[in-house]
């Protein structure tokens, strides 16, 4: 007959701290850090701060200008097609 070991996944905060110290290898690790670190948020904030907004503005203007040209050409072709159908 085999024995089964039941591993509890619920831990008290103290047990969690002890296990985290063992896993991380940092004997000073604690849940009571005054300044918790959020690298993904910090990275996102730095990414937004480093955006060259003048370049974004210029590229947006060019893109909107291209869209306007496409709309104008398509409108002209639709008008020409309508005029052709009116003469048929």
Whole-prediction pTM: 0.46
Q: What is the pLDDT along the chain (88 residues), one digit of tens a residue?
A: 556 555 556 677 778 778 877 887 877 777 775 565 567 787 888 888 999 999 999 999 999 999 999 999 999 999 999 999 999 8
Q: Which of 38, 58, 40 is nearest to 48 (CA)?
A: 40
**DSSP letters spanning 36-70:** ---HHHHHHHHHHHT--HHHHHHHHHHHHHHHHHH
Q: What is the pLDDT of residue 35?
A: 60
- Domain residue ranges in the chain: 11-50, 60-88
Q: What is the pLDDT of residue 39?
A: 74
User: CA end-to-end span of the chain, whole Å?
Assistant: 93
Q: What is the pLDDT of residue 38?
A: 67
């Amino acid at each position: 007959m085999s024995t089964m070991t039941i591993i509890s996944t619920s831990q008290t905060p103290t047990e969690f701290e002890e296990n985290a110290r063992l896993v991380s290898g940092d004997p000073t690790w604690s849940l009571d850090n005054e300044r918790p670190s959020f690298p993904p948020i910090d990275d996102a904030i730095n990414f937004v701060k480093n955006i060259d907004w003048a370049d974004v503005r210029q590229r947006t203007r060019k893109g909107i200008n291209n869209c306007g040209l496409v709309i104008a050409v398509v409108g002209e072709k639709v008008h020409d097609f309508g005029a052709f159908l009116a003469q048929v």
